[in-house]
Structure 1
Amino acid sequence: MDGVELIGGALRDRYGLSDAARTAATISREIARADPDPLTLTELDDRLHRYATTLFNTPHTVLLGPIVGDWRRVQDALGRRLSPDVHRELTRAAGYLSFYLGILSADSGETTSARRFATLSTQFAGQLDDRLLTGTAHSLDAVIAYLDGRLETARDAIARAAAVHHPYLHAWAAGLAVSIAATAGDQQTLDDALARLRERPYIRGLRHPGWPAFDQGREACIVADAMSRLHVPGARSAAQRAVRLTLPGTVSHGWALGALAATLIHEDPRAAGRLLDEMVAIGDVAPSRLLANRVHEILLLITTPPIDHAPRTADII
């Protein structure tokens, strides 16, 4: 009996079995305590959706603090020994939080930060094989390239977003493709994108993080902007409708005002100037590279002699 005990003790000392057992106990306790409680996960999911609904009607300076805080907490949690289901849920949350920070960075002019968050969002999507998150990350790539003026890159990125064929993302992918094509003056691609936008699936009652719901106001802004850029008959009426459908003081409203100003540049430059003043006022409260770029474009048009454009007669609405 003493011999057996001596052999056991020798094994423990020689191979570190006791130390390993103590480590096993520590790991077991870490696993038991690693997962956030269900209420914390539910509240995080609620915030993910709330960020989507406020993305374009709340100043970036208001959103950045809470989103960065959640992003850091989720990254810290992912470093723990989580259960597989919770790890997947938090990886998904990390992907969408990175998307939000990428959008806010891009529209704040922080292109390097935006690209880093976009890459991270794509990596999280790849870990999950999640179609919606994958397409959302590609659409972020498109927005970053569009704001940088890299229109071919933006076009390719939004094509990748559309290729995931997720119903919730369909309208956003088509709408962004419309904006990219209109800015590039690519009429064939524009017509194709408009057709996809008109044929988008009807989505009701679905809650997803990422992009906000694609509503009439967003569609009106996109169509009005495209019509004003290409001098389509009825562009002014479309822009006026977009102004009515958007909430005053928001970036979306400023975008609609830009479409209206573009139709008044040479006929009523004073009115166009007043609209630009409104856009600048919105940008002062809610700084936006999208609005700043459009104000700059319209100012250049105001100082440029008018060009005779052959108006499009194709149905753009």
Structure 2
Amino acid sequence: MVLNIMNICKKYGDKVVLKDFSLELTNGVYGLLGANGAGKTTLMKIIVDILKANSGKILIDGVDKNSLGDGYRALIGYLPQELGIYKDFNAYDFLMYMAALKGIDGKVAKEMVYNLLEITNLKEDAKTKCGKFSGGMKRRLGIAQSLINDPKILILDEPTVGLDPKERIHFRNMISNISRERIVLLSTHIVSDIEFIANKVIILKNGELVENETVENLVESIKNKVWITRVKAEEIKELEAKYVVSNMTQKENYIELRIISDSIPFDGCELVNANFEEVYLYYFNYKE
């Protein structure tokens, strides 16, 4: 399956949120990175057809999504940032209700829902009212509802918010496993989630596509831009005001800093291998 996003523009009044955005997606996991207000959620809402672009089009295998109607929406699974969950429903009833809204036969839906409760580790809480769920449990339930009807295009907006480290690892493994036969686009500020599972990383800045690359190539692109040095505690405030400091480690008699800079910040700094978190900082703190 090929999803082509072609020359999408979106404005809210005079504010341009997406500027001539174009992208081609095939089966696999795509991580969407951007600062708050970069246009990530707007892009996702346009893809899932709950928001209209001012111009541009989206094609699925060469066919305009608008001509597919309900057939296009049947291909979509979507987890928004804020998912409305009926607190008096239990987990099983909520998923059965969502399946009914998607027109899935009761017998088929029942088997599907039990499977989704299993893979999201909610089977033992199937009869627990959603109002009693923790934030992480509600997020897992949201992930489960996004997978109803086995969607071929899965759009996930901040899917791991509220999940503990073990749950996040389980989620990453699950997404990696199912991505072989579908397009997965996930937006998150937790860069490690993208680092471990994304085939490509899409960097969106001020409504424009800045990068569409592998994690390895993005890390390589800031080679020779990350420095390590030792400083005294009283120097920290001044250095933080002057440079992008990606990490600070307290040692016995000094503080070790990692600094992002195109050139050597000052004498005593040495080049060090970059990491993916520093890619994010380079694009959204350093290159402002």
Tell whether the structures are fold-level matches, with TM greater than 0.5: no
**TM-score scaled to structure 2, two decimals?**
0.31
* Structure number with bigger Rg: 1
Greater relative CO, 1 or 2 (CA 8 Å, sep 6+): 2
Q: Please identify which structure carries the higher helix content.
A: 1
